[in-house]
Structure 1
């Protein structure tokens, strides 16, 4: 027996020296979180007190979104190793930024949003992402078995804390979302003046996750972004939506001036390019690169290229030579020649679509000062005076004269003219004007709101719904959008739409807020509190007195009121469950190590 013990000790020591936890880190780097969790669980069972193992397991918990559990493991590692893990600041910041988030679980996604108006985002994110996964999953050859974590942040500062990007880089590049640490990360549209295409952005980030999982995170940045950009709108229509007018204009200028951004310059991140214009140009480039690939080799190139790069351990040239008969440099050269001949989707008067950060201005009726100078400006100001006095027909005449002279490049002028045309029932003229405006600036929600109003006034219900849905995909914080869609749910006899919009209104108005935790869910430690530590094999979600506490095992020094408590431990992925009853005395610290079994309904024997 002693010989066996000596051999076991030698074996454990050898494993520690060999760095057995490196396999866990390798799997996480390859976005194989489930496999990493299995490896980490086995190591924790064998070497529960080794700091390196605890740190590796903490990183797994972080990828799983179990931040408190990760912090518990890192504190144990710090106590044993007498040093602080470099992971600790990021995990601590992420925990602090998300600890009060409201969770909305769904079939394939769990959406975590800050309490307050941002709760309005949850239903729409679930709808869009489920549609996106149904479309993108087969396209990228990935099946999702466990819910994907989606986090929304209430400010750019919060996003900087959890993303590892600097606030300056975020503002310079216009980075508003990321896929990192095996989850989707978005900033609320509420931090922008007019919103942004947040649902397409969520689809875009989901594609990044699918690419990383399929390729084991071996695909370079430019190809990642090209695949995501080309496919992002596929959740609501065809793949390969035309370039936005402003992006097409930037790309055309870059071609003309011979200033294309090379694929190499796009690494290590698009977020590090010097301006929003440079970032938009780069995205337009890589989107057309995917268009070129598909034109040359068909849909199979998507999975073929990812698999080739993965099998080549990240080497690009062999994969490109196999599919295109040339290395990456040759491909980039042939794409450049093709691009110079490709027609561009430029539109006269296309408006800049750069993100504008600031207090959200949601209404189409807000005062937009954009007016031309000279004679057109004088006509516009006369129209403003007539508009304020309620003379919509006369105002429309002056606004139209201003637009005839200056064009449709002044959004405030165009929207005011459209409003007057709708008020005077000049529906065809209003529709023509707004459609032209939408082509110039498809990401301006005010245009879509006015088209929605036009549909309501003209009793064209489906047309109105489509316009308001477009507005909502950009800026969901305008109460008019949800009021109108709720009405349209009745008009179109679509009860699901009606109920969804009633929920959205309630969330915007503050009628749905998270309830305060009950004493059994959260206990403030006192001198009389008792403390529970649970270690299980395998890991488990912890419920206390039939309430989930949002924590899993290992659970360390969790404060509870003295007395009797029922504990339930669940691992739904493996179908394992254990229930027990404990009785705690004031100041007691109870430590239990348990093995889970198959699900049973009967309560196990009490433990004191």
Structure 2
């Protein structure tokens, strides 16, 4: 049905109701099963398809959603939900209340922003499912568990819903807020263009617009880090062509390849918009859709040039910019927790292959409790620009913080954030030292950012609660208290 093809579930349900007496029993039941599945009523969908299967052979598509519904019966039984104006957020009761408590704010903010640029009239609430583990995510999607683990895939927009993997599974979380925003862009793309956009461009659009929610929440714009990722990835010989991204970035050989692919497509969209403007970019998307997905024809008709010329211009401009970017070793994809691996931030935090001797000596002093002395060694290492790293800035800040040098520690946490804005510890610790300095509102700016990465850290919610108390925000105090208590009761037991 056309409505279901573009995830217009409201209109599909209306059509089904209005044609109840006009459709034969098979057609009606088939459509009812589809809609039950897309609404997340897996037990109902499973029962309908089970009955139909007794009489007819289901199509590959209906077999797929029948099997997926069966896979998710246990998840549905274990789950509860929180509803916001435009979303139904489903999560496993004793595991993911922390993320469920915050994700609605981000999604509603992103929804408001996307409505301004996509011509979508959304009438039904969008289902969002927080996946409690990688196994459930694999059962809920066409992706295999090995592909999810290999590429660090943490979100998917499919079957008219958004799936987000719990940050609880990752060593220091991941930026779930950007992921939620990213997947919602995909939802709007599907509602607007169906499946007509090339996969790589579909991902580029989602990557470019994934953080629009920040403006709606009055937060500063997050600096785009695709050049840093490309400097790191291309510098190691990792390049992914647009064709290689098909049928999914999640099926690339590694997480590093996936990280580079996302950076490439975001940089392409950024280049196009800077050169031709956002309005022209959306004209391009419409032209591609009109031409049945033929981007080469659309570019030629809209810009009067060959796509190869556009791609060449993007590569040349990107390489020019990369020549001015310093290479920094950073993680290119979220790292899962593994048994036996330390999750203690006081242990060594490093993404580089070699460590300067001063850093090693600093670590020895740090472990013995000589924090000020350790900070001096870390600073010596930093006198060489070649040693600038996320690890050194973070550990210098931690050592100074332990030595009660809060203002000085803040300087190094900020340097770590400037170097790579995707790491939890510098945000959390910057917020903590600002709270120690009784700069409550300044502290909140950093603590909220930390929460966008890892909402499962009890210490973070203790400090957030204190800052909201001092700021007089009683409603948020209660939320922080309930999340903190949930983590202590259910996650750390």
- TM-score, normalised with respect to structure 2: 0.88
Whole-angstrom distance in 2 between the partners of 1:247 and 1:381: 28
Deviation at 1:143, TM superposition (A): 3.0
Structure 1 residues 408 and 292: CA distance shift in structure 2, 3 A: closer
Residue 150 in structure 1 maps to residue 124 in structure 2: no
Deviation at 1:75, TM superposition (A): 2.3
Alpha-carbon contact 2:417-2:427 (below 8 Å) kept: yes
CA deviations over 1:36-94 (Å, ceiling 9, x no partner): 334444555334532x5422331222122222221222122123337796232111112
Counterpart mapping for 1:292-307 below 5 A: 292-307=271-286
CA deviations over 1:533-564 (Å, ceiling 9, x no partner): xxxxxxxxxxxxxxxxxxxxxxxxxxxxxxxx
Residue 30 in structure 1 maps to residue 20 in structure 2: no
- 1:140 aligns with 118
Moved more, 364-373 or 419-428: 364-373
Structure 1 residues 480 and 333: CA distance shift in structure 2, 3 A: same
Structure showing greater relative contact order (alpha-carbon pairs closer than 8 Å, 6 or more residues apart): 2
- 1:79 aligns with 54
Alpha-carbon contact 1:154-1:187 (below 8 Å) kept: yes
Structure 1 residues 408 and 145: CA distance shift in structure 2, 3 A: same
| Stretches (4+) displaced over 6 A | 360-364
Counterpart mapping for 1:153-552 below 5 A: 153-237=131-215, 241-244=223-226, 246-250=228-232, 253=235, 260-343=239-322, 346-358=325-337, 365-368=345-348, 375-376=357-358, 379-387=361-369, 391-401=370-380, 403-404=382-383, 407-409=387-389, 411=391, 414-510=393-489
Of structures 1 and 2, the larger Rg is shown by 1
Alpha-carbon contact 1:197-1:443 (below 8 Å) kept: yes
Deviation at 1:348, TM superposition (A): 4.8
Whole-angstrom distance in 1 between the partners of 2:460 and 2:127: 27
Residue 49 in structure 1 maps to residue 31 in structure 2: no
Deviation at 1:364, TM superposition (A): 6.6
SS of 1:103's partner is strand
How well do the aligned residues superpose, as a CA RMSD in angstroms? 3.0
Larger proportion of strand: 1
* 5+ long unaligned stretches in structure 1: 1-23, 513-608
CA deviations over 1:505-549 (Å, ceiling 9, x no partner): 23323489xxxxxxxxxxxxxxxxxxxxxxxxxxxxxxxxxxxxx
Residue 64 in structure 1 maps to residue 42 in structure 2: no
- TM-score, normalised with respect to structure 1: 0.72
Whole-angstrom distance in 1 between the partners of 2:363 and 2:321: 42
SS of 2:78's partner is coil
Alpha-carbon contact 1:245-1:439 (below 8 Å) kept: no
CA deviations over 1:126-155 (Å, ceiling 9, x no partner): 110111111122122223222110000111
Deviation at 1:395, TM superposition (A): 3.9
Moved more, 413-422 or 432-441: 413-422
Alpha-carbon contact 1:44-1:57 (below 8 Å) kept: no
Structure 1 residues 394 and 218: CA distance shift in structure 2, 3 A: same
SS of 2:412's partner is helix
CA deviations over 1:134-178 (Å, ceiling 9, x no partner): 112212222322211000011111100011101111112211110
Structure 1 residues 163 and 287: CA distance shift in structure 2, 3 A: same
Structure 1 residues 348 and 374: CA distance shift in structure 2, 3 A: closer
Larger proportion of helix: 2
Whole-angstrom distance in 2 between the partners of 1:239 and 1:432: 21
